[in-house]
Amino acid sequence: MKGEPFRIKMVEPIRLLGRAEREARLREAGLNVFLLRSADVYVDLLTDSGTNAMSDRQWAALVTGDEAYAGSRSWHELEEVVRRITGFPFVLPVHQGRGAEKVAIPALVRREGQFVLGNAHFDTTRAHIDLAGGRPVDLYIPEAADTATPHPFKGDLDVERLSAFLDEHGADAVAAVILTITSNTVGGQPVSLRNAREVARICRAAGVPLFLDAARFAENAWLVREREEGQAGRSPAAIARDFFDLADGAFVSAKKDGLVNIGGLVLCRDEELYRRLAPRVVAYEGFLTYGGMAGRDLAALAVGLEEALDPAYLAYRVGQVRRLGAWLLEAGVPIQEPVGGHAVFVDAGRLLPHIPPGRYPGAALAAELYLECGVRGVEVGSLLMGRDPETGEERRAPAEFLRLAVPRRVYTDNHLADVAEGLARVARRAAGVRGLRMTYEPPALRHFLARFRWEDAARG
């Protein structure tokens, strides 16, 4: 099957501004594509979070959502779906993934300076660990940083480094291990079930909690089905359940594989931990039966979580992203190989070797891509990694990426072909792309609000 497993029932107009207008808009935004207006973007690949198109069943669920403050019917329906899919007995709703992190991470970091280990923490996870007084540590495998060499599971956590870290520092120095599926920081790369089982075994032996960052749990399950020995033919739901069964808890940004525009979850098995988390949900998010979401959002999420595990949908979803990657490779654009589930990660460091990490090649490429064809991507590299709160030094990313995150069920292949052609034109003049200097740096999560000028001040 080559066609999409759905029909299009409603459309939204988009436009491509002229070059002069794009230059003016980018200059007004301080060369930071986060600060552009969406109306000024032709194809928006900034994120796949909350930008998905909902199905007719989800839109129907919106109408029947129960908006009761406490004990909403829509909440109990969602709770039943989540328990069935994940097996976790305790389910807490929050407004999105970072809400889940705000609730859970301070409860896991029991004292200042404890380590939180992971395969590769993403931006808000790292920030919440820092804010809780913890110390984030990435333990990705060496292959994750080698974008040109295919490896089926570059999202795996390096179990030898994990064991060595626990031996050196002791289990009491480690607050938790967070396994991100798929691993966004290293290119949307999947974690194998074999690796997850080994990580869980080590954590259990050491008495260290294992949590999943499960925003893209369905896409990870599909890639495991495609790539891991012994998993072919299994249902994505069964594979996903195997991952959940290994963990003590999970954070879920439902704005990804929940196929909704807002929402999130905190999941756990331990009743004592649940009782510590529940008051934090009430304080920061809302009552335990809505957690920052309207009843209609709860109802749409209950449908979306099941739709996200549909094999026909996942084959289409992962296949579309993979086609974009193939077109870029054909044009000579270096990317993280193999392509993961939700995005194509362009290796800006390889494409722009004359721009050092401290001049943010991924952000520079994002600005150039918008100028070239009105497409918005986002840097995932040293700019996103931010500064070490103790030393003030910039953290270095495993690679300097431009991420092209594809919203679910939103764009056609023709849109993505335009993206590939525009980026190919930028690649042909890569030697002329300049780095960026920061003119404003926020104290945390700087990539969202920072402003820049071109390395050559005469240009901008």
Which of 307, 332, 356 terminates a domain? The answer is 307
Phi/psi at 281 (nearest 5 deg)? -65, -45
Boundary (domain end) residue, out of 272, 307, 342: 307
- Exposure string of 226-253, with b = 16+ CB inside 10 Å and e = fewer, is eebeebeeeebbebbbbbbebbbbbbbb
Assess whether pLDDT exceeds 70 at residue 112: yes
Q: Tell me the CATH number at 145.
A: 3.40.640.10
Catalytic one of 69, 148, 172, 205: 69
Give the pLDDT score at 457. 44
Domain of 321 in residue numbering reads as: 19-48+311-454
Q: Which of 256, 308, 343, 430 is catalytic?
A: 256
pLDDT digits (tens, 9 = 90+) for 22-60: 999 999 999 999 999 999 999 999 999 999 999 999 999
Can 70 be counted among the known catalytic residues?
no
Same domain, 335 and 271: no
Whether 215 is catalytic: yes
Note the pLDDT tens digit of each residue in 210-241: 999 999 999 999 999 999 999 999 999 999 99
What's the rounded mean pLDDT across residues 206-213? 97
Considering 42, 88, 90, 122, which one is annotated as catalytic? 122
At 401 the pLDDT is 94
The predicted structure's pLDDT at residue 1: 62
Give residue 392's pLDDT band: very low, low, confident or very high (50, 70, 90): confident
Selected catalytic residue, list 138, 156, 213, 297 = 213
Active site residue 95: no
- Annotation marks residue 123 as catalytic: yes
CA distance 66 to 61: 10
Burial of 300 (0-12, 13-18, 19+ CB in 10 A): buried
213 included as an active-site residue: yes
H helix and E strand count, the chain:
16, 14
CATH number at residue 437: 3.90.1150.10
Please give the structure tokens belonging to residue 277. 């988390």
Among 215, 254, 294, 366, which one carries the catalytic annotation? 215
pLDDT, one tens digit per residue, over 281-305 is 999 999 999 999 999 999 999 999 9
Which residue among the candidates 102, 447, 450, 452 is catalytic per the annotation? 447
Task: Give CA separation, 147 vs 187, 268, 300, 327, in Å.
Answer: 9, 35, 37, 17
Q: Which residues pair with 176 in a beta bridge?
A: 116
- Are residues 321 and 251 part of one domain? no
pLDDT at 385 exceeding the cut of 90: no
For residue 459, pLDDT over 50 is answered with no
Catalytic residue among 40, 123, 156, 158: 123
CB-neighbour burial class of residue 425 (10 A; exposed 0-12, middle 13-18, buried 19+): middle
CA 14 to chain CA mean position, Å? 25
